[in-house]
Amino acid sequence: MPNAPETPAIAIEGLRKSFGPNEVLKGIDLTVRAGEVIAIIGKSGSGKSTLLRCINGLETFEHGALRVQGQPLVYQDPAAMRALRQQVGMIFQSFNLFPHLSVGRNIKLAPGLVKQLSDAQSDETARRLLARVGLAEKFDAYPDQLSGGQQQRVAIARALAMSPSILLCDEITSALDPELVGEVLAVVESLAQEGMTLLMVTHEMNFARKVSDRVIFMHHGLVHEQGAPDDLFARPQTPELKQFLSSLH
Amino acid sequence: MVEFTVWDIVSNLLLAARWTVVLSLIAFLGGGLVGLALLVARTTPSRLLQKAVAGYVQLFQGTPLLMQLFLAYFGLALLGIETSAWTSAAVALTLYSSAFLTEIWHGCVRSVAKGQWEAAQSLALSFVEQLRYVVFPQAARIAVAPTVGFLVQVVKGTALASVIGFVELTKAGTMITNATFKPFLVYSCVALLYFLICYPISLYARSLESRLHAKRS
């Protein structure tokens, strides 16, 4: 593809967000190309998750602008938010599967309601996506019958069922036992290879280094340093990032 | 002087108990419908609606049911609306039940984890869809037992409708006492009938509670 000036997947300018008197995001500028894989790292409380949650409107921000596929985010307009959220899928640390629905119905619910797919269509999609995350046989199981890693893979399938162009991953392996992390990351890696635009807040530095195109280090509510993973991890420029990276070992 | 047998007393009470049951059902079903509407209003992001519903609930929880019945009976008449004891009792008990049911159900909705809302939101479900398909089914499971338990309160609450002249179990008891001069016997029968209505409901609530806690769907 030539580098024509195409619409960025996400464009953020001067984003500020406070919780009461505590300003969590202090003016974020960030542009994400379609198909780019971005890992966001930083200490807890640096605003990583809040930034992610602003992108699909789970948090409202006070100042700045945020565009997804060129469309500005308007909280007051439910139709616009609905359109936006079909573009942007999100996966949570705590999975958040619907416990009263079977795995199949967890995945089919939103496509049936929002995209108004027929039952047969959404059934087909759900089975295909479950197979893709390696859980074809769990269609009729309930979330509490699955391991954490399996639940998270179902959550990924559920997000993919809406065919989003952007996927937000909020520390999706942090609640998993170490031996289950790999199976989830493998799915994310395959998505990255297929050209999905991915923004992930993660503590898995090796994974970030291996999969991402760009790593963003957040510190005190700002993008403190960013760059290609090899540069950033091998040659951190700022003392804060140096300290953060050394604290991990 | 006419002699009354115990069967005379009981059979007349049983006839009146029908109206206790009917009034309870009207209050419970009407209160359930109004309560559901109020619950939706209370769950919306609108601060104004939330405050209005909270005020409504406080009003009915903070005043005696007896006063609510008086106000419904005499107040509606003042407004020029012709009311029978029937209508005012039904209206007052419906409003009373709706306030309590809203409060009970609101607690159940709040006990659904925030992540459930967020997952539903990020899947682009509308507010009504989030409630209908994700939050309410989970809240309902928690709500069944306390809701059925509240039905017992409603049944006992209908006794107060006797003061505005509605002939249900308690009022019938008073009338029969006036004719028989056997208050202890008559009111014992009245109490027993209330118990026979309420006890099975309590048992049912308890069995529902254990069943819903053990099973998933």
Ranges in chain A, pLDDT < 70: 1-5, 249
Q: Do B116 and A159 touch (CB under 8 A)?
A: no
Q: Which amino acid is at B120?
A: A
Whole-number pLDDT of residue B1: 57
Q: Do B125 and A58 touch (CB under 8 A)?
A: no
Question: Min CA distance, B43 vs chain A (Å)?
Answer: 16
Assigned architecture for domain B6-214? Orthogonal Bundle (1.10)
When CB atoms are compared, the residue of A56, A94, A99 closest to B122 is A56
CATH number 2.60.40.1180 given to A10-247: no
CB atoms within 10 A of CB B174: 15
Query: A69-101 pLDDT, tens per residue?
Result: 999 988 888 899 999 999 999 999 999 999 999
ipTM over 0.90: yes
Whole-number pLDDT of residue B214: 59
Find out whether A107 and A154 touch, Cβ atoms under 8 Å: yes
Q: Do B125 and A89 touch (CB under 8 A)?
A: no
Q: Which residues of A touch B (CB under 8 A)?
A: 56-58, 78, 81-83, 85-86, 88-90, 92, 94, 96-100, 109-110, 113-114, 142, 144, 155, 158-159, 162
Whole-number pLDDT of residue B217: 43
Q: How far apart are CA A180 and CA A190, in angstroms?
A: 17
Q: How far apart are CA A195 and CA A8, in angstroms?
A: 14
Whole-number pLDDT of residue A181: 94
For A52, which residue in chain B has the nearest alpha carbon? B122
The number of angstroms, rounded, from the C-alpha of B13 to the middle of its chain's C-alpha atoms is 22
When CB atoms are compared, the residue of A90, A92, A99 closest to B138 is A99
Q: Is A95 left (phi over 0), alpha (psi -120 to 50) or beta?
A: left
Residue of B108, B114, B123 to mutate when probing chain A, most A C-beta within 10 A? B123
C-alpha separations of A12 from A15, A16, A44, A48, B115 in Å: 7, 10, 21, 14, 25
Q: Where are the domains of chain A?
A: 10-247
Residues 6 or more apart whose Cβ sits within 8 Å of residue A10: A30, A31, A32, A55, A66, A67, A68, A166, A197, A199
For each of chain B's 217 residues, which pLDDT tens digit applies?
Answer: 567 888 989 999 999 999 999 999 999 999 999 999 999 999 998 899 999 999 999 999 999 999 999 999 998 888 888 888 999 999 999 999 999 999 999 999 999 999 999 999 999 999 999 999 999 999 998 998 899 999 999 999 999 999 998 999 999 999 999 999 999 999 999 999 999 999 999 999 888 878 776 554 4
Whole-number pLDDT of residue B83: 83
Q: How far apart are CA B163 and CA B189, in angstroms?
A: 19
